[in-house]
Amino acid sequence: MVGFGIIGCADIAQKIVRTIAKTEGCSVVAVASRSIEKAEQFCASLDLPATSCTRYGSYADLLGDANVQVVYLPLPTALHLEWAPKVAAAGKHLLLEKPAGLTLQEVQEMVSACAANKVQFMDGVMWMHHVRAPKMREVVQSGELGKVTRVASSFHFCGGEEFDEDNIRVRKDCDPLGCIGDLGWYQIRAIIYLLQELPSSASAYVHKRSREGVPTSCSATLFFDSGKFATFDCGFDTNLRQELAVSGSAGTLACSDFVLCKSVDGSEFSVGSMVFQEGYGPKGHGLESTVEVRQGG
């Protein structure tokens, strides 16, 4: 049994806790917030019994819990560099909410801390572990689309007035990358994952910023030495869309729910008029992905 500890009671943590609960061999054994009351509330709302899940009013206390083998860290990005290395130093595997860090250097530092302590580093990009993702990559890499040169993606949701005012994703001290970290992160990952190449340069326009100067609407282009390019736009100001299109001389792979499947009953993507569908077996395989966690060194 793999014991998960949750540090921080962000909304996204609720989804993860429910997923852990559904995953064979895993359970949430501890939850920490800055206040014990908040940890209690979080556990109560998710039916995590006090008998099997310890509540902590301090992040550090959770790190001392011997039952915790993996820490899921959904703290605001600006706090990752402080807490991720502490998780590693405590000998716990790390599941780090995305975006992993604010700079490449920050991420490298966290990855190094995990390596030095012989624990697993994983960032919270779920869709890549979905059964659909490698199928999509297979099609892109197969040559079926002809010569692939172009990826276009749009990923937005409409946050609304309250969100625009004080959601952590528009606050400089929390998630200063704004929509680029929150949405563009997925798009960049999808582009790199599907093309299997790293861009050589990038260009971005920030169209809108929050009161604190955090990007809330952006469009960007990634350039590849091979001549390929990818464009993506993301923002908190238009309705939910999650489009991804990979185009080649002979066809285009299109997926309009690449991050969050629109249906829990199945997922799909298309190439021209052909639709690829993935069902979910009786074991509930699919949305709940199985993650193997390396135990110890």
Residues found near a second copy in the complex (CB under 8 A): 145-147, 149-150, 152, 154, 156, 158, 160, 203, 205, 207-208, 217, 219, 221, 223, 227, 229, 231, 233, 235, 237-239, 241, 243, 245, 247-252, 272
CB neighbour list of residue 28: distance below 8 Å, 6 or more residues apart:
3, 4, 5, 6, 17, 20, 21, 48, 53
Residue closer to a second copy, measured from CB, 223 or 280: 223
Residue 241 CB, nearest distance to a second copy (Å)? 6
Residue 193 CB, nearest distance to a second copy (Å)? 19
Pairing of strands 237-248, 215-223: unpaired
Residue 132 CB, nearest distance to a second copy (Å)? 21
Residue closer to a second copy, measured from CB, 25 or 205: 205
Taking the C-alpha atoms of residue 168 and residue 35, their distance in angstroms, rounded to an integer, is 18
> Is residue 186 exposed (0-12), middle (13-18) or buried (19+ Cβ within 10 Å)?
buried
Whether a cis peptide bond, with omega within 30° of 0, leads into 99 is yes
CB neighbour list of residue 177: distance below 8 Å, 6 or more residues apart:
77, 99, 102, 184, 185, 214, 215
Residue 148 CB, nearest distance to a second copy (Å)? 8
Residue closer to a second copy, measured from CB, 233 or 288: 233
Kindly report the backbone phi and psi dihedral angles of residue 96, in degrees, each rounded to the nearest multiple of 5, phi listed first: -105, 125
Supply 184's token pair: 């563009």
Residue 115 CB, nearest distance to a second copy (Å)? 37
Residue closer to a second copy, measured from CB, 118 or 211: 211
